[in-house]
Structures are given as structure tokens and as C-alpha cells.
Amino acid sequence: MELFEAIKTRRSIRRFKDQDVEDEKILKIMEAVRNAPSWANLQCWHFVVVRDKQLREKISELTYVKSFFEPLGYKVNPAQKGIKEAPVVVVACADPAKSGNLWNQPYYMTDMGIASENLMLAAHALGLGTVFVGVFDEEELKKLLGIPENIRVVGLFPIGYPATEKKEGPPRKPVNEFVYSDKWGTPIK
Ligand SMILES: Cc1cc2nc3c(=O)[nH]c(=O)nc-3n(C[C@H](O)[C@H](O)[C@H](O)COP(=O)(O)O)c2cc1C
């Protein structure tokens, strides 16, 4: 798939077919992650590939964080069901000590954001679907998967064959609303 086409047509996929995902495809996705740029090339990332059904079910439950979702009127995390359905859930972790921290700006989140987009685009290019799941009970998740104290969990990615076809994504701002010419606030033509 051509790069701009992949960027444009990637969508958050939250429902999956009852169909396994080949190990080679997961490795190919991880190869795309491996090629991501990172602070001083320190590659602060670690990924746990979860296939175990019971673990996926527990992970799914941990994505409903009541204190976050209840005030919004949500009874579930919109991605919750998909985490149970998808044959694979990738847990993206970072070692903050292996990235930059410049003027109180922790760059491990930047590194992980870039790696995550590589992951999502690679999955899409392979005909798979995924979604960045950023809301979860980190402490419980770390206990469940034996993730060390000093490591942060940054996101979860259910990966599977999409059960839904999404042509249009949620609306995006037009470019001239957020890109300026020479000085802040002067819209680009
Ligand atoms: C950092 C981050 C956290 C997210 N967390 C969740 C989440 O917890 N649950 C969910 O269903 N979607 C989550 N999303 C997906 C966004 O809702 C989605 O990307 C956005 O609505 C745009 O839709 P699109 O990905 O189809 O273009 C998250 C996305 C990002 C980048």
C-alpha cells in the first residue's frame, strides 16, 4: 500500500473477525516499529504480544477506568469488546530511563507515539485493523503481565482482521486552521 494512501485510509478498528493473525504479520509489524526514530536512537520500547484468551479478557476489563469514563457517561471503553475479540493484543511499554528528558519534557511518550503510528500503519497495510487504547488501569495491568515497576505502559493495541469496514473517519480540522505562515495565527494559503 502506498504511504499516503495508508495514512489516509487507516481507521481505528474496534470490532474483529473470529480469525487468527499470523505470527509473521505480527513480526512484520514489529519490524516497522523497530525502524521508528527515537531519542538518541535509544529505542526505549518494549512490547508484550498477548495471545492468551484469559489474559485478553482481563486486559479488556482493565480498559474500563470508572473514574475516567463515568463522568463522560460511558459504560464501557469503546475499544473494550474488541480487546476480547482480537486474537492478539499488543501492550506497548516504555523505559523512561532510556529516552530523553529535556527541560521536564519526557520524550519517551514522543518515541512511543512515533512507534505506535508505525505499528498502526503497518497493521493497516497488512489488511489488519487496530486501535490505540490509551485508557487502562496501568497498575493492575503491570501486575497481570509481570511488567517491572520502572516501566510505563503507554498503550494497548488489539490487532485482528476487521469485522467492520470504515470508509470515513471522524472529521479533521482543515489544514489552514492549524498551519500558520511565518507567524503564529496567520493562516497558510
Ligand atoms: C493516545 C490515544 C489514546 C486513545 N485511547 C482510546 C481508547 O482508550 N479507546 C478507544 O476506543 N479509542 C481510543 N483512541 C482512538 C481515537 O479515539 C481515534 O484515533 C480518533 O477518534 C480518530 O479516529 P481514527 O483513528 O479512526 O482516525 C485513542 C487514540 C489515541 C491517539
Q: With contact defined as beta carbons under 8 Å apart, do 26 and 88 qualify?
A: yes
Distance separating alpha carbons of residues 126 and 58, to the nearest angstrom:
27
**Residue written as grid cell 497488512:** 126
Rounded Cα distance between 119 and 117, Å, is 5
Say if residue 3's pLDDT is above 90.
yes
What pLDDT, in 10s, does the model give residues 40-60? 999 999 999 999 999 999 999
- pLDDT (tens digit, 9 = 90+) per residue, 101-114? 999 899 999 999 99
* Per-residue b or e along 161-178, where b marks 16 or more CB atoms closer than 10 Å to that residue's CB: bbbeeeeeeeeeeeeeee
Q: Determine the residue of 131, 136, 156, 167 to mutate for testing ligand 1's pocket, defined as the one with the most ligand atoms within 8 A of the Cβ atom.
A: 131
CB 52 within 8 A of CB 117: no
Question: Among residues 57, 58, 75, which one has the least CA distance to residue 66?
Answer: 75
Domains defined along the chain, listed by start: 3-161 (3.40.109.10)
State the distance from the centre of ligand 1 to the C-alpha of 157, rounded, in angstroms.
10
Q: Is the per-residue pLDDT at 164 higher than 90?
A: no
pLDDT digits (tens, 9 = 90+) for 57-99: 999 999 999 999 999 999 999 999 999 999 999 999 999 999 9
Kindly report the average pLDDT of the chain as a whole number. 96
Which cell goes with 22? 499470523
- Is-above-0.85 flag for pTM? yes
